[in-house]
Structure 1
């Protein structure tokens, strides 16, 4: 009998504290043959991202999607006209996404948030971080946060969406919801907070999520 995919996913996620990034490749590889499920594989962009970006015109602009998984956000961003690059630490996730979207305009790349290519520095007009950092324990979460702002180019915008920890109490993850100080930590490398809001989740009002916008002066 094959193991229950959801239960096996929880077993893999438990490895995050000892192997913060490596467990993602294991998850996507085992999901590919039905032994695990990818909880965030919903086929549609995150609601808070879609609402924020619905009127954007990305024509002539570059976008980066951090920790793209199976492409739900990156395909949406590309549909707005952005020349989009999206990366994930899992090579299997990237291969699966390319197979799902063979005609995609997105440039899908395998890369590690903790060791990003130097030519991505200050290269993008829009950077989207949707619930990737919250999947990392600390360390290395603080380093992951610090590595994202330098992706934003002059006049560019960083949008961060993450589960919110409003009490500061320790949580068992993943995910590890972000406290306000961790959201504020994205305002580095010259970025300034433009709008930070905490809103109830559309499907579960008991869950709060951050939606934070940061901008780099032109």
Structure 2
């Protein structure tokens, strides 16, 4: 992580993966099961607007689009976005390079579904409140945020390096930014570390 650039290491990692120096990070052939199961239970997207935060190589974004959502997906890494576009050349997903901490103004409260999966926890804890606020502010009135984050018990110490998992208070804190919690659960998923799956909505005024 470069001094003063808390997100710069994402591009370094993806670029190294593209050059074959390391395994391509977060490279999955299938969508995350906690996303897949939740989204399939919701029914068709019906052309509602969705955004996938920190989309990486695009597999989750492709799944969201396949459910009928008009999908935007972004990542801080130019390499990740370029790779996703190459992997899915005919994709309906609008892939963009963007910084979670400095999102385009036109995205504010513009999406019916916001999907955030284990991205905020990769940022320094000192930026957590800012990142949570930025993601929450993507949700339009009547829209939904689905947040999936690694879990820690409230009294457990934080690790010395990322990912820095979420306590119960931290996963609940999306509600500090105009959202209302629908469910906060810890689904059984033995193939992964324990994770929160939390659903929030922005009330219609």
Does structure 1 conserve the Cα–Cα contact (< 8 Å) formed by 2:158 and 2:165? no
Counterpart of 1:147? 134
Gapped runs of 5+ residues in structure 2? none
User: Which of 159, 163, 182 is the equivalent residue of 1:194?
Assistant: 182
Per-residue CA deviation, residues 134-187 of structure 1 (Å, 9 max, x unaligned), is 111122222111111110011100000010011431212211111111111111
How do 1:1-218 residues align onto structure 2 when only pairs under 5 Å count? 15=1, 19-55=5-41, 56-166=43-153, 167-204=155-192, 207-218=193-204
Stretch deviating more after TM superposition (170-179 or 84-93): 170-179
Does structure 2 conserve the Cα–Cα contact (< 8 Å) formed by 1:195 and 1:212? yes
Runs of at least 4 residues of structure 1 off by over 4 A? 16-19
The CA distance in 1 between the partners of 2:66 and 2:104, in whole Å, is 25
Offset at 1:18?
6.7
SS for the counterpart of 1:188 is: helix
Per-residue CA deviation, residues 31-74 of structure 1 (Å, 9 max, x unaligned), is 11101223421121111011101132111200000000000110
**Residues 129 and 17 from structure 1, CA distance in 2 versus in 1: closer, same or farther, beyond 3 angstroms?**
farther
SS for the counterpart of 1:148 is: helix
Does structure 2 conserve the Cα–Cα contact (< 8 Å) formed by 1:16 and 1:136? no
Offset at 1:217?
1.6
Does structure 1 conserve the Cα–Cα contact (< 8 Å) formed by 2:17 and 2:25? no
The CA distance in 1 between the partners of 2:203 and 2:24, in whole Å, is 37
Q: TM-score, normalised by structure 2?
A: 0.93
SS for the counterpart of 2:125 is: coil
SS for the counterpart of 1:63 is: strand
SS for the counterpart of 1:126 is: strand
Counterpart of 1:7? none
